[in-house]
Amino acid sequence: MSTQLLYAFAGVALCGIGLFGFIRLDHLLRKLLAFNLMGSGVFLVMVGLAQRGGEPDPVPQALVLTGIVVAIAATALAVVLIRRYYHLSGRTTLAAPGPERKSTTKPAADREGAEV
Amino acid sequence: MIRVLGVVTMVVACVVFAGFLGLAVWQISGAPAPVNLPGLLAENLEASGVEHPVTAVLLNFRSYDTLLEIGVLVIAGIAGISMARTTSLEDPDLRTSDSLLYALQRWFVPLMLLLAGYLLWAGSDRPGGAFQAGAVLAASGVMMRLGGIPMDFLRPGMLLRLGLALGFTVFLLVAVASALAGEAFLAYPEGFAKPLILAIETVLTFSIAMVLLALFVSAPVNRAQEPEEGERG
């Protein structure tokens, strides 16, 4: 197996792991991390596959660089949104707390005055 | 039992997804490239105004991507700021009194500013460029913010708006001006490519750093007596 395939398959594995985490995990921050892992997998596939004949291809590298910057900005915005959501609802998950699920809701007394 | 079944289904779905992706990668790697992109790039590198191929792609051959990217960044920054509470910018609880941080700051902040300037300049003929420089600049800003150095320009106002919009505005102005002058949209006029790219990169660096720093600052802050996220539940 050549080097570029090794990189590309590592990226594919990252995509799979990230997808599993994105579906499976409840906490929004963990979901965000898993989503970023998927993104990193895609970047790795693009950069890894594009080095045909040992020579790196600058075009996918530039595209991935653009992608990384956008991913950072989107992640920061997502963190801002998640913190805002936590402030407003007191919850760290999107799912409504059911009776059998462990609740992450703060007691109502604590929440008073948390948000102006 | 249902829970276990659900997890197994998820694992199987993810493995199937990764399998198909791997198959696609395997087939792509076996197929011959339809266009010799590196060759094309090497032939036209002379005309691009910069010597480094990645910078040439970013700011000349595919500058559309970069223009839209800084647009996305500005939108993300504006959305983040609109959710901030301005009082949190001057929250004394945020300031750390860590003497190690102060000591490091004195050494690192000037060095990082220097490094950002170097990276910006290096982009023309070796790895570097606006994004790396912007990231380093934003990191030094984060460090200064953690150390409690007052940064008035981050308060909502004229300076913040200017800093956020500067990169996108200059880039767009250059693009429209070249279109009005008879060239294609975003095509630099003959002979002006290098100075224009350098100017765009400089304003891009400032704007990228500003957006990242603004997003860092604008995350709403908990009150001191509030539990941090994750401490409960």
Through-space distance between the first and last CA atoms of chain A, rounded to whole angstroms? 59
* Contact across the interface for A58 and B53, Cβ inside 8 Å: yes
Judgement on whether residues B73 and B174 belong to the same structural domain of the protein: yes
Percent pLDDT > 70 in chain B is: 88
Judgement on whether residues B14 and B126 belong to the same structural domain of the protein: no
Judgement on whether residues B10 and B92 belong to the same structural domain of the protein: no
Using 50 as the pLDDT threshold, list the residues of chain A that sit under it: 100-116
* Contact across the interface for B11 and A20, Cβ inside 8 Å: yes
pLDDT grade, residue B113 (50/70/90)?
Answer: very high
Mutate to test the interface with A, among B52, B58, B62 (most CBs of A within 10 A): B58
Chain A CB contacts of B83 under 8 Å are: 80-81, 84
* Pair of tokens at residue A93: 């998950």
Q: How far apart are CA B39 and CA B155, in angstroms?
A: 48
* Cα four-point dihedral sign B95, B100, B106, B108: negative
* Cα four-point dihedral sign B49, B55, B57, B62: negative
With respect to residue A53, please indicate whether it lies within any of the assigned structural domains.
Answer: yes
Q: How far apart are CA B194 and CA B45, in angstroms?
A: 12
SS3 B167: helix
pLDDT grade, residue B217 (50/70/90)?
Answer: confident
Q: How far apart are CA B131 and CA A13, in angstroms?
A: 28
* Contact across the interface for A105 and B56, Cβ inside 8 Å: no
With respect to residue A105, please indicate whether it lies within any of the assigned structural domains.
Answer: no
Mutate to test the interface with B, among A72, A94, A110, A115 (most CBs of B within 10 A): A72
Judgement on whether residues B7 and B88 belong to the same structural domain of the protein: no
Q: Output DSSP code: residue A99.
A: S
Q: How close B72 comes to chain A (CA, Å)? A: 7
Judgement on whether residues B117 and B162 belong to the same structural domain of the protein: yes
Residue A9's nearest CA partner among A37, A38, A49 is A49
Q: How many domains does chain A have?
A: 1
Q: How many domains does chain B have?
A: 2
pLDDT grade, residue B8 (50/70/90)?
Answer: very high
Mutate to test the interface with B, among A64, A69, A81 (most CBs of B within 10 A): A69
Helix axes B193-218, B63-82, angle to 10 degrees: 20
Residue B213: give the domain boundaries.
Answer: 50-218
With respect to residue A103, please indicate whether it lies within any of the assigned structural domains.
Answer: no
User: What is the secondary structure of B113-155 as a DSSP string?
Assistant: HHHHHHHHHHTTTSS--HHHHHHHHHHHHHHHHHTT---GGGS
Neighbours of A76 (CB within 10 A): 23
**Residue B168: Cβ-neighbour burial (10 angstroms; 0-12, 13-18, 19+):** buried
Residue B71: pLDDT over 70: yes
Chain A CB contacts of B201 under 8 Å are: none
* Residue-wise pLDDT tens digits, A36-62: 999 999 999 998 888 766 677 888 888
pLDDT grade, residue B11 (50/70/90)?
Answer: very high
Neighbours of B35 (CB within 10 A): 8
With respect to residue B40, please indicate whether it lies within any of the assigned structural domains.
Answer: no
* Contact across the interface for A76 and B212, Cβ inside 8 Å: yes
With respect to residue A56, please indicate whether it lies within any of the assigned structural domains.
Answer: yes
User: Once rounded to an integer, what is the mean pLDDT over residues B139-162?
Assistant: 80
Residue A91: give the domain boundaries.
Answer: 3-95
Residue B18's nearest CA partner among B8, B26, B7 is B26
With respect to residue B61, please indicate whether it lies within any of the assigned structural domains.
Answer: yes
User: Which chain B residue has the Cα nearest residue A50?
Assistant: B29
Interface of B with A in 82-111 (CB under 8 A): 83-85
* pLDDT on residue A113: 44
User: Widest CA span of chain B, in angstroms?
Assistant: 71
Q: How far apart are CA B233 and CA B231, in angstroms?
A: 7
Q: How far apart are CA A55 and CA A39, in angstroms?
A: 24
With respect to residue A116, please indicate whether it lies within any of the assigned structural domains.
Answer: no
User: Once rounded to an integer, what is the mean pLDDT over residues B191-204?
Assistant: 86
Judgement on whether residues B13 and B78 belong to the same structural domain of the protein: no
Phi, psi of B34 (to 5 degrees): -70, -35
The mean pLDDT value of chain B amounts to: 81
* Residue-wise pLDDT tens digits, B220-232: 555 444 444 444 4
**Residue A60: Cβ-neighbour burial (10 angstroms; 0-12, 13-18, 19+):** buried
